[in-house]
Structure 1
Amino acid sequence: MNCLSQQTSPYLLQHAHNPVDWFPWGEEALSKAKTENKPILVSIGYSACHWCHVMERECFEKEPIAAVMNEHFVCIKVDREERPDVDAVYMDAVQAMGVRGGWPLNVFLLPDSRPFYGVTYLPAQNWVQLLKSIDNAFKKHYDELAGSAEGFVQNMLVSDTEKYGLVTGSGDYASSELDIMFEQLQRNFDTEKGGMDRAPKFPMPSIYKFLLRYFDISQNPQALAQLELSLDRIALGGIYDHVGGGWARYSVDDEWFIPHFEKMLYDNAQLLSIYAEAYSLTRNPLYEDRLLSTIQWLQDEMRNEQGGFYSALDADSEGVEGKFYIWTKAELQQILGEDFEWFAKLYNVSEHGNWEDGHNHLHLTNTVRQTASALKLDVADLETKYSAALKKLVEKREERIRPGLDDKTLTSWNGLLIKGLADSYRALGNEYIREMAVSAGVFIRENMIVAGKLMHSYKNGQATVTGFLEDYAAVIEAYLALYQITFDEQWITLAKKLADYTIHNFYDQKEGFFYFTDIYGETLITRKKELFDNVIPSSNSIMAHNLYLLGMMLDEDEYARISDAMLSKMSKVLLADVQWVTNWAALYCMRASPTAEIIIVGAEADDMRKDFDRFFVPNKLVMGTTSRSDLPLLKSRTDINGKTAIYVCYDKTCQLPVTQVEYALDQLAGV
């Protein structure tokens, strides 16, 4: 075994038996490179990454290839999920080299850690040729490599604020500018299959979040139509696991048909939030089903004993991509018996299959009832028969060898999931969902906060790696969500403490944004800021949301000032290329119309909140108490003659209190 055998990361442990002399990222490997004057190979991936596994089998497990790597390089393996800071630095460098980023990411560094070349997946022959070429260049053309490396470092030292000319805007928030953002985003819609007009297709929750908020303000039917089309196809397509629940990371095609089979916690966390809000708006039973099924999958397969959640399920099992999820026609005939014929029509099952080697992957383009009706199937008792058929497939699948589980628990992704569970609870009202959310919040509080600071990763009873901005942003958002579904003030108190720590240790007063790394964290060749939204919203955009809400909830003007300054600086990009800043655009929606402050006071505050939360009111915060509270928005608020009261307020100015939810909704509608 190599030096990775003592690590906790499942991805690193996967490589512990490679003949490559892998080191984890750290001082030992970096010092070794300087002492021996060897170039460094940093190979970055994650446990659920299919092509990472392929490159390991083809290259890193081969003795002759390992011998070349060991002789000429100091080899470092990095789990990108455990060390997103290292990944971000070297991904930025590789993209500056003109290489399209992805994983596995293989970056070659000088002994002082400056990058000079990078590639993604390469087959064995090409990989060996590259290793020998780089060894030759390092020995015979060192000055040229050093010059290139210095150029890449200087490029990385230019902040995004400088690179994109981000300057403070007017500070005005006009709904007409939201129309401009939507029209710009609309140009790239796939209006036939949903999502954006490209392949592969990734769910992009922050885009859907913006569409929900934009529709709430504008009532533009095109926004709602694109949102529903996208969510319907993501719910029905092969990217969703029809048998076991939960979504894969993306589809390799433009139809949401064949997924890249790994399931990531962060995708499912965010999609819970989106489908919960969409269900509150549309009452579409398909959305409710996907919420409940995905939450059940999370409960059954992804939850640790302490209430936190694991990171991912692999794409592969038995070395084959998707093997756990696919079926031959003969298998389905044997399992389903007399139900096979209608099921096969429903899912277009065939002998030759719709996937590789005669296998079928389950995929719909319309709801089960719509498809059955179009095929002239008897739909009278279809729901019962359909559920029974899926149950048979679940039972059969349990006999298969399962995909690998990445059983580390990441603070940031758990924060996203707590928010997703809280939003699902608000939409559906199922108490066990609230219990799951609170339990995960307790897990972070008890295990991931050490001496007032967040840690990033947890496994085998040990919290490791100093927390990043993504951890603080996601957990603050989660704790604000927990407060709003429990009225337990410990959560808002913890959110404030974490926000204050973040401002003190991550905030760049000069540029007005937050660094990704703690001032007390490890020093890399550059200290990055994450500004642009992707499949996960940027940590800065989440922090801007958090500070806006905290500013109102705690009457802290400084929080609101920082949030507004951040959003103002993003105004140029919002109007020029909004698809990369849609979580910022969602915050813009909150600033373009007044945010409702819903205050509930009285013995039945929780029941009243639960009733109120069923309705789609995205631009709000909810606070309450069964007795009294010293929180600024709750001070001097009382029930009315023993009846629980709802106060609808805007900018600390309240309308007359009411004692029924429908009256409060009327007040909201009248604004």
Structure 2
Amino acid sequence: MTTKNKPNRLFTEKSPYLLQHAHNPVEWFPWGEEAFDKAKRENKPIFLSVGYSTCHWCHVMAHESFEDQTVANMLNKDFISIKVDREERPDVDHIYMAVCQAMTGQGGWPLTVFLTPEKKPFFAGTYFPRSRKYNRAGMVEIIAQLAGKWKEDPDRIREAADQVITETTSRLLENHSVGVMSEETIHEAFRMYESNFDAENGGFGSSPKFPTSHNLSFLLRYYQKTGNARALEIVEKTLDSMHRGGMFDHIGFGFSRYSVDEKWLVPHFEKMLYDNALLIMTYIEAFQVTGKAKYAEVAEQIINYVLRDMTDEGGAFYSAEDADSEGVEGKFYVWTPDEVEDVLGIDEGDLYSELYDVTESGNFEGHNIPNLIGTTMESVARRKQIPLDELKQRIEAARVKLFAHREQRIHPGKDDKILTAWNGLMIAALSKAARALDKPAYAEAAAKAAEFLLRELRREDGRLLARYRDGEAAFLGYVDDYAFLVWGLIELYEATFELRYLREAVQLNAEMLRLFGDEEKGGLFFYGSDAEQLLTRPKEIYDGAMPSGNGAAALNLLRLSRLTYDAKLSQAAEVQLQAFAGAVASYPPGHALTLAALDFAYGEASEIVIAGDPAKPETQHMLRTVQRQYLPNALLILHPPGPAGEEVRKLIPLVQDKLPLGGQATAYVCQNFACQAPTQNLEELENLSSKH
């Protein structure tokens, strides 16, 4: 971004995205009363621009228009310009994105909306070039036309804006369709996933392709529930294809946000924390279901990336890495054969290039994205007559050298703000990995992040906040912040059996219901009753790139109700599922996490209590026997002896009469509030738990 201009009002903000625009000649305001008061006082419409720091087309529009003096002069003369980071204010983004979709039939970022001084929208779109091109109207002509129309007849524009609000509100309320879901909804979801599956390339539909790993997690549940092998085939084909493609960073690890083609070759190079958290979970689950080490390896590679590049010194996790470096998308990640040869030498360079599709012609704008789409380690080992283990060692040595060389390049920008919701997902992911792989270090990393959030992102009154950066926590937490953090804390309890995390989950869950609950119609609003009240108060149930807060909350409510025997939570979960039943039934594949909650509610959920001293090997063996299994509808509880056990009994009444028999670690497997005979035999425990 240009720095020759004097700073505007964004200069004092913490958001990396807003700071990118702090020296634009546009006289930007952050979202707030100062901007709205000025708009009303001067009777000027508002130009609202919403984006995020790692958004490629946001960068393009900023360079073309917001750094351009002509565009800036036009905006400064006739509009009040407001810049919003969608990751700090997802409530604002959510509502005006719905406006854009209602008015144009599509959405995306940058989001461009023109508002009346009362915040009512009358024109919307996404990326606009400075002047007309790509068959798109240009900013110069749009600004001139809208400024002229406002001066001619502002009342007419206000009337049109009222109609837009009516239509948008109607669209937002479509999510809320009360009914009753049944297990048939789960089967219908599978049929629709199957019909949309790309059998050749993996994934669903055509390009662009997003990982949407929560859909794959649902299919793993479905496989376990029904034994339908097709569900597992879809998951494995997709996970394998994504990992082989260029969307996975084969040199530094981690996944990009999506693939622009159907083969997963060319990514949109930005890396988002939430994608990588969700993918860790799904690869771990695939490992648990299949026992195939390759899925555990991918999960650990993602974790390696997150702990190396995306972790704050305080233990929390950064938000994203940009697609661009030096103003060029993907420049940091691509290679030529000569570059590879310079780093590795001729023999090793040729070997690496043959395996990873690095050619003179290139596979991306004359350069190469390393990928395994057309080849495998096994095929190259056979062709080169190299033992497979030797080839793997040589390729790993090559990767380490290429990574070290790549580190000397100019890195893409990093959005180092800490978002509560996304951190909650990563805490959940690391906790799952710690259990399944018996890696306590992952649980330690999750615990460190949880402690950071609970310490730095809560006010003294306990209210959760959404964003932390540069020593400042701000913005009242949204439903996703509460739901995803509660999810993470439940998973962290099952990884560490530290009762404090479960207590915090119960407390935050109660606060979530109080702040976001709709007592009249059920479900949870996106922003709290104590927050700024916008044009409307939406509820989100659709699972997009991330699962919805309402879906996560439904599953949390069910798990906490079973742990604490709190009938109110069970009832709240039932209301939660009923509140959105119509929307879910209308398109089941768009609601994977809600379907997981439905499966938990109406399936065969169970509790597994291990009573024993956690310091003793037999207790640890029992815990690990359960933890390595894929048991999505089971809750694992440790009931230790002594004062610690008393604390557990206060919070989890189920364990009251479940004691170590004869002083030896003992397992109790319970389903539908009835328990099997206790066992001290590991093989019997594995058989018992695997049935639940």
User: Which band: TM-score by shorter chain?
Assistant: over 0.9
Residue 46 (structure 1) aligned with residue 56 (structure 2): no
**Structure-2 separation of matches of 1:77 and 1:541:** 30
- Read off the aligned partner of 1:593 and give its amino acid letter: G
**Structure-1 separation of matches of 2:375 and 2:485:** 36
Which of 21, 32, 49 in structure 1 is aligned with 2:27? 21
Which of 275, 284, 292 in structure 2 is aligned with 1:284? 292
Q: Which residue of 2 aligns with 1:343?
A: 352
Residue 641 (structure 1) aligned with residue 647 (structure 2): no
Q: Which residue of 2 aligns with 1:90?
A: 96
Which of 464, 470, 475 in structure 2 is aligned with 1:465? 475
Q: Pairwise mapping of residues 487-498 of structure 1 onto structure 2 (< 5 A)?
A: 487-498=497-508
Which of 606, 617, 626 in structure 1 is aligned with 2:640? 626
Deviation at 1:592, TM superposition (A): 3.5
Deviation at 1:624, TM superposition (A): 1.0
Q: Which residue of 2 aligns with 1:580?
A: 590
C-alpha distance after superposition, 1:78-123 (max 9, x if no partner): 0000100000010011111024100000100001100011111111
C-alpha distance after superposition, 1:236-273 (max 9, x if no partner): 11000000010000011111100000000000011111
Give the secondary-structure state (helix, strand or coil) at the position aligned to 1:350. Answer: coil
Q: Which residue of 2 aligns with 1:168?
A: 179
Q: Which residue of 1 aligns with 2:334?
A: 326
- Read off the aligned partner of 2:550 and give its amino acid letter: N
- Read off the aligned partner of 2:631 and give its amino acid letter: V
**Structure-1 separation of matches of 2:488 and 2:386:** 45
Residue 484 (structure 1) aligned with residue 498 (structure 2): no
Q: Pairwise mapping of residues 74-153 of structure 1 onto structure 2 (< 5 A)?
A: 74-125=80-131, 126-153=138-165
Deviation at 1:486, TM superposition (A): 1.3
Closer, same or farther: CA 142–463 of 1 in aligned 2, 3 Å: same
**Structure-2 separation of matches of 1:612 and 1:120:** 49
**Structure-2 separation of matches of 1:333 and 1:80:** 42
How many residues matched?
Answer: 666
Give the secondary-structure state (helix, strand or coil) at the position aligned to 1:308. Answer: coil
Residue 233 (structure 1) aligned with residue 256 (structure 2): no
Residue 389 (structure 1) aligned with residue 394 (structure 2): no
**Structure-1 separation of matches of 2:672 and 2:653:** 12
Residue 68 (structure 1) aligned with residue 74 (structure 2): yes
**Structure-1 separation of matches of 2:349 and 2:11:** 47
Q: Pairwise mapping of residues 188-199 of structure 1 onto structure 2 (< 5 A)?
A: 188-199=196-207
Deviation at 1:160, TM superposition (A): 4.5
Residue 615 (structure 1) aligned with residue 636 (structure 2): no
**Structure-1 separation of matches of 2:329 and 2:387:** 35
**Structure-2 separation of matches of 1:443 and 1:256:** 35
Q: Is the 8 A contact 1:346 1:371 kept in 2?
A: no
Closer, same or farther: CA 374–522 of 1 in aligned 2, 3 Å: farther
Closer, same or farther: CA 288–668 of 1 in aligned 2, 3 Å: closer
Of 13-22 and 151-160, more deviation after overlay is shown by 151-160
- Read off the aligned partner of 1:149 and give its amino acid letter: A
Which of 462, 467, 478 in structure 2 is aligned with 1:452? 462
Closer, same or farther: CA 511–159 of 1 in aligned 2, 3 Å: farther
Q: Is the 8 A contact 1:487 1:623 kept in 2?
A: yes
Q: Pairwise mapping of residues 455-604 of structure 1 onto structure 2 (< 5 A)?
A: 455-604=465-614
- Read off the aligned partner of 2:40 and give its amino acid letter: K
Deviation at 1:183, TM superposition (A): 0.9
C-alpha distance after superposition, 1:435-467 (max 9, x if no partner): 101111111111112121100000111111111
**Structure-2 separation of matches of 1:120 and 1:666:** 55
Which of 385, 390, 414 in structure 2 is aligned with 1:405? 414
Give the secondary-structure state (helix, strand or coil) at the position aligned to 2:654. Answer: coil
**Structure-2 separation of matches of 1:147 and 1:606:** 67
Closer, same or farther: CA 653–54 of 1 in aligned 2, 3 Å: same
Give the secondary-structure state (helix, strand or coil) at the position aligned to 1:106. Answer: strand
Deviation at 1:159, TM superposition (A): 6.8
Give the secondary-structure state (helix, strand or coil) at the position aligned to 2:542. Answer: coil
Residue 660 (structure 1) aligned with residue 675 (structure 2): no
**Structure-2 separation of matches of 1:165 and 1:323:** 44
- Read off the aligned partner of 2:464 and give its amino acid letter: L
Closer, same or farther: CA 530–165 of 1 in aligned 2, 3 Å: closer
- Read off the aligned partner of 1:617 and give its amino acid letter: L
Q: Which residue of 2 aligns with 1:313?
A: 321
Q: Is the 8 A contact 1:250 1:260 kept in 2?
A: yes
- Read off the aligned partner of 2:333 and give its amino acid letter: Y
Q: Is the 8 A contact 1:25 1:76 kept in 2?
A: yes
Aligned CA RMSD, in angstroms, stands at 1.5
C-alpha distance after superposition, 1:203-240 (max 9, x if no partner): 01221111010000111011000000001111111000
C-alpha distance after superposition, 1:590-644 (max 9, x if no partner): 2342101011110134442223211122211111132123221221211011111
**Structure-2 separation of matches of 1:521 and 1:536:** 23
Q: Which residue of 1 aligns with 2:4?
A: none
Q: Is the 8 A contact 2:523 2:580 kept in 1?
A: no
**Structure-2 separation of matches of 1:191 and 1:144:** 52
Between the aligned residues of both structures, percent identity stands at 38
Deviation at 1:290, TM superposition (A): 1.4
**Structure-2 separation of matches of 1:276 and 1:208:** 12
**Structure-2 separation of matches of 1:164 and 1:308:** 33
Q: Is the 8 A contact 1:486 1:606 kept in 2?
A: no
**Structure-2 separation of matches of 1:434 and 1:607:** 17
- Read off the aligned partner of 1:659 and give its amino acid letter: Q
Deviation at 1:662, TM superposition (A): 2.1
Give the secondary-structure state (helix, strand or coil) at the position aligned to 2:332. Answer: helix
Of 361-370 and 577-586, more deviation after overlay is shown by 361-370
Segments of 5+ residues of structure 2 without an aligned counterpart are 1-6, 132-137
Q: Is the 8 A contact 2:478 2:526 kept in 1?
A: yes
**Structure-2 separation of matches of 1:599 and 1:187:** 40
Give the secondary-structure state (helix, strand or coil) at the position aligned to 2:638. Answer: strand
**Normalization by structure 1: what TM-score?**
0.97
**Structure-1 separation of matches of 2:159 and 2:484:** 39
**Normalization by structure 2: what TM-score?**
0.94
